[in-house]
């Protein structure tokens, strides 16, 4: 297809002609998943194993973690899930009771180590500066905890640009359910069809579709460009990264603008 977005017209251009609200996934979209969570998760697992090498090995095994490369396999439950999803596996290995107390401990450790290794994708502050100047309502919808999302947003200096930050524990459910997207639209009086969720995973696109929002895929997650095959069928637009988002929004605004030609 022509133009700077070779995969950007999976659906007709009129499907979502103009947007008012942009909701970002965090990991794989704003934050480099492998560079951040590869070393951070190893530190968390090591802390929880507390010197028990066998327990550490089992944690890495169920988490599909490649120790020598300090990264997760793309099929790992940690790539798109929350501590509430994979936490029971960890609790069983460590002999902890599976529940909010243990999940909260995990979230606290992930938040601390995630900040230590935080690696943004491109320049989230520049992108948010640009979008706010255009009048967009911005938010984050992540399967990380809300506290971790807020802490990372503060370090990236984008928190003041965000009108909504939701994690799996914010009361709206977790992706792929549509609760975060619907809550974002309702909270700010936005028409759901003029809201976009930008994300790197099927969970993100399913959440957008279920809510009735625009689904924008980015190829900056753990699978990189190889994710195009599975993401494109569910996406309205496919971009390399958030760096291409302002240009896409320009295109959508231009297509939505009324024609200057007088009606004859």
Q: What domains appear along the chain, each with residue ranges and CATH number?
A: 13-32+120-256 (3.40.50.1000), 34-116 (no CATH)
Q: What DSSP string describes 150-213?
A: HHHHHHTT-GGG-SEEE-TTSSS--TTSSHHHHHHHHHTT--GGGEEEEESSHHHHHHHHHHT-
Q: Is the peptide bond before 176 cis (omega within 30 degrees of 0)?
A: yes
pLDDT value of position 3: 34
Convert the pLDDT of each residue in 225-251 to its tens digit.
Answer: 999 999 999 999 999 999 999 999 998
Give the confidence band of 8 by pLDDT, cuts at 50, 70, 90. very low
Condensed to tens digits (0 to 9), the pLDDT of residues 188-203 reads 999 999 999 999 999 9
pLDDT digit string, tens, across residues 22-71: 999 999 999 999 999 999 999 999 999 999 999 999 999 999 999 999 99
Residue 215: predicted pLDDT: 97
pLDDT value, residue 82: 78
What is the average per-residue pLDDT within 110-129?
A: 96
Pairing of the two strands 65-66 and 71-72: antiparallel
Residue 9's pLDDT band (cuts 50, 70, 90): very low
Q: What is the pLDDT of residue 12?
A: 40
pLDDT tier, 17 (very low <50, low <70, confident <90, very high otherwise): low
- Strand, helix or coil for residue 264: coil
Calculate the dihedral angle through the C-alpha atoms of 211, 21, 197, 249, rounding to the nearest 10 degrees. 130
Q: Is the pLDDT of residue 260 over 60?
A: no
């Amino acid at each position: 297809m022509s133009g700077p977005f070779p995969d950007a017209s999976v659906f007709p251009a009129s499907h979502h002609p103009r947007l008012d609200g942009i909701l970002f996934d965090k990991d794989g979209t704003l934050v480099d998943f492998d560079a951040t969570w590869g070393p951070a998760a190893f530190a968390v697992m090591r802390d929880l194993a507390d010197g028990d090498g066998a327990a550490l090995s089992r944690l890495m095994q169920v988490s599909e973690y490649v120790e020598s490369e300090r990264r997760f396999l793309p099929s790992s439950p940690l790539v798109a899930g929350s501590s509430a999803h994979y936490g029971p596996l960890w609790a069983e290995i460590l002999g902890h009771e599976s529940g909010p107390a243990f999940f909260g401990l995990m979230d606290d450790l992930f938040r601390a180590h995630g900040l230590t290794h935080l690696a943004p994708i491109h320049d989230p502050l520049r992108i948010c500066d640009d979008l706010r100047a255009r009048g967009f309502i911005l938010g984050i919808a992540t399967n990380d905890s809300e506290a971790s999302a807020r802490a990372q947003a503060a370090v990236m200096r984008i928190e003041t640009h965000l009108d909504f930050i939701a994690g799996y524990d914010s009361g709206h459910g977790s992706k792929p359910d549509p609760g975060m997207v619907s809550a974002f639209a309702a909270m700010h009086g936005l028409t759901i069809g003029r809201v976009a969720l930008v994300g790197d995973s099927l969970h993100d696109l399913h959440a957008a579709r279920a809510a009735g929002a625009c689904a924008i895929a980015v190829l900056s997650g753990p699978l990189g460009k190889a994710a195009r095959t599975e993401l494109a069928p569910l996406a309205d637009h496919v971009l390399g990264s958030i760096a291409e988002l302002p240009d896409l929004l320009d295109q959508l605004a231009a297509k939505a603008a009324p024609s200057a030609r007088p009606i004859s």
